[in-house]
Structure 1
Amino acid sequence: MSDPDKSTDELAGSEQPFVQHLMELRDRLLYGIAGLGVCMALLAIWPGPSGLIDLIAVPIRAHMPPDAKLIAVGVFSPFFVPLKVLAMGALLLSLPWWMYQIWAFVAPGLYSHEKRFAVPLIILGSLLAYVGIAFVQFFVLDKMFGFIQQFTPQSVAATPDIASYVEAILSLYLAFGLAFQVPIVVVLLVKMNMVSVKQLKEFRGYFIVVAFVIAAVVTPPDVISQLALAVPMCLLYELGIWGSQWFVRNTKAPEESVKDSAAS
């Protein structure tokens, strides 16, 4: 007769063979790719590759003469650049779908209290990625190009190549989208008992240095974009410390909550 005070493992007997895990991973990847294809088709219909390029070109066009245009130097740039922009737009649009596929793959191996902890992080991670990219599009690029154009001599016509421009801003989108995941990383590190909240607070000064070093490496060599990345990273680090305290307190396993109540 089992002890009624001892809780049973809700994941007992749910283990699957390794091959079955690989098949599940394959299916989730195929679902994700299918969703990406649907998003590419939708964006190809509206606003279309030209509309997407016009959208991302707004920040730099604001600092160019009214009749100036971006140029295509490469022979195949008029074809590959719109395709690259279309794929990137589709990836951003399908990001929640990809996050759901990741969640569906790992959910069977999580306890109930861990699922309550994972879902908000997945949603928050997607939102933070969108916020980071929007921050680049509507603030960083405008300030960065305004700063750079101040150093352009009057005798020089600034007509950037569309391929290099798209490559530069896509790298910024990626850098800021990942950098804005700092709170998620901090919460996961605390939740997995790799670091403590106290250690994170003690590391605060070092993280400021790390943030500025990362900003100097991944952004163009101008002060505006470097500050625009480093400062939000520091603020998001503080948000991660606060969030880790909240998540750890509200996502404890039932037996841990009982132990804490008994200890208090």
Structure 2
Amino acid sequence: MLIAAPGLSRKYWQFIEYCDQQLTLKTSEKQRRFNTNVCLPSRSGRQLVNVKNLTCVAYEAALPAGQTTDKQPLPEDSGRVKSFGKLIELISHRRPVSNILLCGSPAPKTAEVVTKTMPSTTSIPVCYVGEQEGEISQEIKARVNLKPLQPALEDLIHSEDETSDIVPLDECVSISEISVATLLPLVQEQGWLLGSSRQHVPPQSSLQLGEQFALLKTTTYTNGISPQNEDITLLILSEVDYCHDLKSMMPPYILNRKIHEKSIEQFSRTTIYLS
């Protein structure tokens, strides 16, 4: 017990309170202390460490043993931007990207991901669609090329003289009401149109990462085979009917396609498509 006179200063009372707290802490630790023996053998069985009467202090864990913490899910916008950034990286690794067009009402995070992912040699034009331009930081403004404001997306499609390697679709109403095919003129040949499955139905030939999809614009295909071709050609090596067995293994969305059978004699080196 600590006894002090009422006329003592405030600092002295604070010192007494501190001493009382430390005394309580030491007493609590003393109650949790215990002695144990610790042995550490090697893989061969040779004893490496042998400690007797090791004094330990037991502490209560924040969670019961075996219980794991639930990870907080990423905010919806954060997850979307992360998937968008990964698609940009994958495309840029596949081939050099000279320009990326941000149109509609691009979010500041979207513009930030593009400017940080792409090198300084990549041109990033930004064209807002609507009644007023969006707000972006001065750092991003110095990196991008702001174009004149367009009243509607159709005006942008008709006024845009140059096509871009990548065109991300912003999740705004003006874009969600337009089909993906209508927006393809903004993309150059072998370029990519990025979008969200929440706003558009992803085409069958598109790549998907989470809710984001990437559609390659191409009009020329090897051997005339396009990704949109609904027919399936089955190369058979004998007269045995494999068509029935193949259909039983196919997923439901493929069963509506036409399946053609061709024998090996009907193919040549110039007609076989190697993927």
If the length of structure 2 is used for normalisation, what is the TM-score? 0.18
Bigger fraction of residues in helix:
1
Query: Higher relative contact order at CA 8 Å, sep ≥6: structure 1 or structure 2?
Result: 1
If the length of structure 1 is used for normalisation, what is the TM-score? 0.19
Bigger fraction of residues in strand:
2
